[in-house]
Amino acid sequence: MKEKKILIIDDSKEVNEILRDYFMSVGAITYTYTEPPNLREVLKEKDPHLILLDFVLPNISGIELLKEIKDINPHIPVIIMTGYADMEKNIESLRMGAYAFFPKPFKNFDEIYFTAKNAITYYETYNRTLRLSEEIRQKLEQEKLNLIELEFLKTLQQLIGEEEDTDALFGTFFKILKKFIPFDILYVTFTSEGGTNFRIFPQEKSYIYSKNLENGAEEGIRFFEKEGFHFLESSLSTKLKSYGKAYILKKITFTQYETAEFNRFCSHLSLALEKILLFNEIKNLSIHDGLTGIYNHSFLIKSLDEEIIRSERYGSPLSIILFDIDDFKRVNDTYGHLAGDAVLKGVAEIFKGNLRNIDIIGRYGGEEFLAILPETDDKKGITVGERLRREVAHKEFLDEYRIKITLSGGLAHYEKGFDSRKLLQTADDYLYQAKRKGKNRICHGKY
């Protein structure tokens, strides 16, 4: 977080000093205010990467100030700090554009650090995307693209923000390129999280050649040469990263013009590819919890609303389980917050490994997790909840400490007329009941 600029607005000098000292200790530059400044001037002058905003301020609410900030710069991340336990108000702040909220008094500075770091990364990635857009614009001006290239670029630009799958981009690239350069096969190798992959267009050729191309680009090209193909090769790379290579092949040699045009088009493909991947990265950051990697609160609420609509429309069952780690404060107090973070990550991994692909699991807040279970009635929901509870109870977290924990949970089943708020409140009531009955159990009205 070195040299990242953070704006802190809180009417408590003590809170400002605590946050200022903490963020300075990790290399950040902080600006603190005990009352709202002239935001337009301050945001222009300081150009912060992140704003920490108190929910209640003299003569103005945090929500009003949040709206003013978003009117000036809708993309800068704002984290709300609140001493209120009113979840409805916290959710309202998220709906108004807050990135996250921190409860006061602060208990876990590691969580504050990771959330703040994630927010800053999101903002920098967004700004990097804007700069990329400007680079593309300047490139268009500098190279004075001809009409053929312009048509090509327009089509690629239409995919950006609409397509998340790179296959769609490569497929479009193949169709457009065929109009201007005669060739038989497009062969693309690219690197992703899963390793090096390849694609062949037209797709019917993929079934013919795939088995011969599994050992990498060089082996693939040698195979095509043996088959009598000539090829052109171009790197798919930008200033930020190298993504792979593109090849076009045909049975006769390529001209100099075709070579120049192919390299030219591949440079535009590289920028479009980078932009699509950056959009995907931004989207991924915006819906996942920075610590555990599972879905975050705002995505859970959005998904629950969608599942309720689906359940209402098709009459399919829907259950949710709100989990809470029992006595989690004891883990932090005994072993430290880093150990507590490791436990949260471990619990998230157990959830991910024991739920279906259609299920949705996320961190609801603090040590609470929410599981959304489509096509699941209350009886099956209890079975799922008990399985997860047992898995967590049997697990020993951190080899050096062998920490044992338990879960309590409240299960709610969708009934006609319920909205997300009612469903969550019902699950929360049963969670409270599970705590009162001795913890380490899943409670529901019928069980």
User: pLDDT tens, 83-115?
Assistant: 765 667 667 777 788 888 888 888 778 888 998
CB distance 93 to 78 below 8 Å: no
Using alpha carbons only, give the angle 356, 358, 362 rounded to the nearest 5 degrees.
Answer: 85
Q: Among 132-136, 209-213, 218-222, name the one with the lowest average pLDDT.
A: 209-213
Q: Does domain 145-285 have CATH number 3.30.565.10?
A: no
Better pLDDT: 209 or 273: 273
Overall average pLDDT of the 23-47 stretch: 92
Local confidence band at 386 (pLDDT 50, 70, 90 cut-offs): very high
Q: What pTM did the predictor assign? A: 0.53
Local confidence band at 172 (pLDDT 50, 70, 90 cut-offs): confident
Q: For the chain, where do the domains classified as CATH 3.40.50.2300 start and end?
A: 5-118
CATH code for residues 5-118: 3.40.50.2300
Local confidence band at 193 (pLDDT 50, 70, 90 cut-offs): low
Share of residues in the chain with pLDDT > 90 (%): 55
Amino acid at 386: E
Signed CA dihedral, 94, 96, 99, 103: sign only: negative
Q: For the chain, where do the domains classified as CATH 3.30.450.40 start and end?
A: 145-285
CATH code for residues 297-443: 3.30.70.270
pLDDT surpassing 70 at residue 215: no
**60 strand-pairing partners:** 57
Residue 144, Cβ density class (10 Å: 0-12 exposed, 13-18 middle, ≥19 buried): exposed
What's the confidence (pLDDT) of residue 119?
A: 92
- Residue 3 Cα distances to 27, 325, 403, angstroms: 6, 36, 37
Share of residues in the chain with pLDDT > 70 (%): 88
Overall average pLDDT of the 104-127 stretch: 87
What's the confidence (pLDDT) of residue 56?
A: 83
The winner for highest mean pLDDT among 92-101, 181-190, 298-307 is 298-307
Q: b vs e for 370-395, b when ≥16 Cβ sit within 10 Å of the residue's Cβ?
A: bbbbbbbebeebbebbeebbeebeeb
Q: What average pLDDT does the chain have?
A: 87
Residue 69, Cβ density class (10 Å: 0-12 exposed, 13-18 middle, ≥19 buried): buried
Nearest to 246 by CA among 176, 173, 181: 173
pLDDT surpassing 90 at residue 320: yes
The DSSP result for 313-382, as a single string, is HH---EEEEEEEETTHHHHHHHH-HHHHHHHHHHHHHHHHHTS-TT-EEEEEETTEEEEEEET--HHHHH
pLDDT surpassing 90 at residue 247: yes
Overall average pLDDT of the 138-153 stretch: 60
Local confidence band at 283 (pLDDT 50, 70, 90 cut-offs): confident
Overall average pLDDT of the 171-194 stretch: 84
Local confidence band at 427 (pLDDT 50, 70, 90 cut-offs): very high
Distance, CA of 171 to CA of 155 (rounded, Å) = 12
pLDDT surpassing 90 at residue 361: yes
Distance, CA of 294 to CA of 32 (rounded, Å) = 32
The DSSP result for 327-340, as a single string, is THHHHHHHH-HHHH
Instruction: Name the strand (E) or helix (H) holding 172.
Output: helix 166-180
pLDDT surpassing 80 at residue 146: no
Q: For the chain, where do the domains classified as CATH 3.30.70.270 start and end?
A: 297-443
Instruction: Name the strand (E) or helix (H) holding 78.
Output: strand 78-82
Better pLDDT: 393 or 103: 393
Distance, CA of 162 to CA of 157 (rounded, Å) = 9
